[in-house]
A and B are shown apart, each in its own frame.
Chain A
Amino acid sequence: MKGFTQIFTVSAMNLRNLPQRLGASSVAVFGVACVVGVFIGVLSMASGFQRTMISAGSPDTAILMRSGATSEMSSGLGFEEIQVATQLPQVRRDAGEPVASAELYVIVDIPKRGTDNSSNVPLRGVEDGAFEVRDGIEIIEGRRFETGRNELIVGRAAQQQFAGLDVGNTIRFGQMEWDVVGVFSDRGGLSESELWTDVRVLQSAYRRGNSFQSLRVKLASEDALEALQAEVAGNPQLDMDVQRETDYLSDQAEPLSKFIKGVGYPLAMLMALGAVFGAINTMYASVSARTREIATLRAIGFGAFPVAFSTLLESLILALIGGVLGAVVVYLIFNGYTVSTINSTSFSQVVFDFAVTGDLLVQGIIAAVFIGLVGGFFPAVRAARLPVATALRET
């Protein structure tokens, strides 16, 4: 019991004295805040990108593309193949009609809002089935495009990020004019970066004949995928790969999220290392500033452990303040911050928000605690081992 009282007394005294060492302490706090900030910032970019890519996929949707195609961009399907594939028994039917959408995927050059940087914006031609295959689509402004007309609906994110996509506008791609008639949302998913129109109109505008690039179908049930894959593989008329939409989307997201994480984690580790050195320095300074105080405490009967503990606690608290500070600042600045980048797998722009998730905040705080503990350890040992007699005479 006496031990606890000692620990409590020494720690409380030490913390009350903190303001006297404000300069050195704030260096440690600031260092940790920067580390935690950069760490959370970079990873929130990766998590936001991943969320956008994956969230709208649904496990009972399958995507069919040409065998070996790595993305819709590099796929091509004929009308006959589409006809055969949609009639397969594993495809869900609604009032006798297969729930499916054969789609065309091209890119158009539109400047980013407020700049003249051209961007590869995806333009997707869809069939009416697209709105049933993707269950999250909602028109949030205007109306759907009409079949057979040069009308576009634009994803919410695309509308915010790229110029001239407001409802009522007319935009020109090459020789053709398109009316923007609506804005849609897709639960924050990838489609929100796209422009949509009627696939038949797009085929003739891009002189694609009667060809498509991908076919999305609803599966009769979630576990019908293997059966569908076997059916397609066994049919000599079909030269296609079948993937679950969620798997396809996470494959598409992989290279870029890997890249961001591949840069982000080593970066954060290095910065953490730098902050550890900074923290050790601060804590040594703190111990040496308190040399006489510690020696006095030891001389009047306080144990070595409470003294060491108080140093460790000081370091931990400084790091925690820094960690929380960094996390809060990053959350306020970056959460929901919208950026767009080119996704090399589809050669087109993806608009996404930074997602500062609770998970990342916790990881950031854990990193701060780690820095605090490592940074406080050796100085704490030194504080415990101070030779009382000589230390009392120190200046």
Chain B
Amino acid sequence: MKYFYFIWKNLGRKKLRTWLTVMSIVVAFILFGALGSLNAAFTQGAEIAGADRLITIHKVSLIQSLPYSYVNRVRNTEGVEAVTFANWLGGYYQDPKNQFAQFAVEADSYFEMYSDLLSLPEEQMQAWKKNRIGAVIGTSLAERFDWEVGDRVPVTSMFPQENGNRTWEFEVEGIFSAEGSGADSGSLLFHYEYFDEARQWDKGTVGWLMIKVSDPQNAGEVADRIDAMFANSPAETKTSTEKAFMESFMKQFGDIGTITGLILAAVFFTMLLVTANTMAQAVRERIPEMAILKTLGFTDRSVLIMILAEAILLALIGGLIGLGLAWLMIGAAASQVEAFLPGFAMPAEVWINGLVAIVVLGLLSGAIPAIQGMRLNIVTALGRR
């Protein structure tokens, strides 16, 4: 630590070059922060998924519905603790561009199932249950359309009501919040009973089932048992853990992870070269000085460490500024993309990976110059002018 001032002074020797290098590192780490967060946003759904929850869908595809009777049959299956279900309404508010998720659910069992993620004040829950056309909305949805408790909201859906009308009216009875940044607070939940009575076709069916198993260890067995129960029926099922379900859905976007990884590798490698080049130049210029240091009694090792420390310091300045800027930018962008990327933020792991990347960048870029400095022979170096 006592050489810090010396290292700092060395960085300031050619201010312009140091600043240019720092700026390229800043840019690299802005990209690192932004792409890392984007990648995390696409995978975080899987991380908040409960290990003890299963999802059962129609085997042919998610868009096909299951008979309502499945709910009770699954509820009576060994190893199942609780079951709830949902239907997708697929509607929009006023303009087709205003898409958001609406699910027809059974109030009690749904909130019980997700008691770890969703919370709704008790009196709002009671008011909702009393109102047939009542609905509860997530906090970010409330913010997006500026809705409040008591508002009547029309939602236009692909599902017609019995009278042919495609616009469903709901009364907002409550606003629920979602724990965990990735949980979905952008949706509207309403009564399945109202939906099933009023809709024109597909009556008596549910979209998918959510199941809580009594012992997460046996989740796989329970899933197999459920699927076996409906095998060879007109509506066969596919049951998987919530995590596997979300992961397989996210995978359908294609490999976002690989693409961001490739870009980051290209950026990182370029920055490595830029920084390494700067360090190499800096050391080359300073060869006589280093010879003097060694003459004064500095060991080979301390010269090595000093050069490495300088490289790491350079990377640290640029990297921290870059990550900081990325954090600010993401904060600003989060509200804009709330609708399709809920909970877009820079997670802790991006900071941690960023710090690791900074140190690696510093070590790699400083390695060759530092070894050169260490191996320096005093006599030849002093003579080199």
Contacts and interface: CB of A to CB of B under 8 A. Distances in A.
A271 B254 contact: no
A69 to B, nearest CB: 7
Interface residues of A, number: 53
A270 B35 CA distance: 12
Interface in A88-118: 106-109, 117-118
Interface in B224-259: 232, 234-236, 238, 248, 251-254
A23 B21 CA distance: 16
A160 interface: no
A125 to B, nearest CB: 14
Contacts, number: 134
A149 B273 CA distance: 63
A75 B31 contact: no
B38 A263 contact: yes
A365 to B, nearest CB: 18
B383 interface: no
Nearest to B236: A174
Interface string B13-34: 0001100110110011011000
Interface residues of B, number: 51
A86 interface: no
Contacts of A34: 266-267, 269-270
Contacts of A108: 60-61
Contacts of A319: none
B249 to A, nearest CB: 8
B130 interface: no
A274 B24 contact: yes
Interface in B175-205: none
Interface in A317-340: 339-340
A208 to B, nearest CB: 9
Contact of A274 (B27, B58, B92): B27
Interface stretch (A134-142, A278-286, A385-393): A278-286
Contacts of B166: 66, 68
Interface of A: 23-24, 26-27, 30-31, 34-35, 37-38, 42, 66, 68-70, 73-76, 106-109, 117-120, 173-175, 206, 263, 267, 270-271, 273-275, 277-278, 280-282, 284-285, 339-342, 344, 347, 349, 395
21 contacts: A27-B274, A31-B270, A66-B166, A68-B96, A68-B156, A73-B63, A74-B158, A108-B61, A109-B60, A174-B58, A175-B236, A267-B35, A270-B30, A270-B31, A273-B27, A277-B21, A281-B20, A281-B21, A281-B24, A284-B17, A395-B385
